[in-house]
Amino acid sequence: MIAEIDVRAVLSRSVCEFHSDLVTRSTGRAVRSGIEAHLQEHPDVTVVVLDFSAVRVLDCSCADEVIAQLLLRRSGGDAERPTYFLVRGLDETHADQIDDVLRRHGLALVAEERGGATRLLGWVTELMRTAWERIASRGPTEPEELASDLAWPLADARAALDELAFRHLVIRTDRRYLPVPAA
């Protein structure tokens, strides 16, 4: 199941009704707690879309508390039903803040840009990024298809796809690897 969470609405409920800026670590903790409460109430959610469209300002401390800490806390979850995160509605300043924080933590996630195109934010290897871009543009793949398409050794294709799946940047079903769906 996919859940779309309006981050501005969580901010409104958690901190201040008239606020649209995600600044200060305590604000970030409050927003993350609100998101975590929502996810606890809906344990069947496997894809979480965090919508930042109505957020005006996002500072580094809030990006750390809301995004990085949420990913770190959820990464140790149920291996049979992992949680996949996608962010949308980011302006370039938001994306830069999130990208910097994720890189410092060695994390990554999928960001949907206006118009529906997706990209990775955070830390990934070049092999992972190339494999992910292939899946994002052409759809589900198997290691043999990826190796053939990119003229890679099969071991490199498998390693890149497995690392993407381990980091919850693609969804693995049997032998196929699929892009994280946008809601």
Full set of structural domains in the chain with CATH: 1-123 (3.30.750), 124-183 (1.10.10.10)
Beta bridge partners of 88: 51, 112
Query: Model confidence over 120-179: pLDDT tens digits?
Result: 999 999 999 999 999 999 999 999 999 999 999 999 999 999 999 999 999 999 889 999
Q: Would the pLDDT of 81 be above 80?
A: no
91: which 2 tokens? 């302006």
* Average pLDDT value for residue range 87-108: 95
Q: What rounded mean pLDDT belongs to the chain?
A: 90
* Average pLDDT value for residue range 114-121: 87
Provide the 3-class DSSP secondary structure of residue 140: coil
Confidence (pLDDT) at 116: 80
Give the C-alpha separation, 22 to 133, whole Å. 30
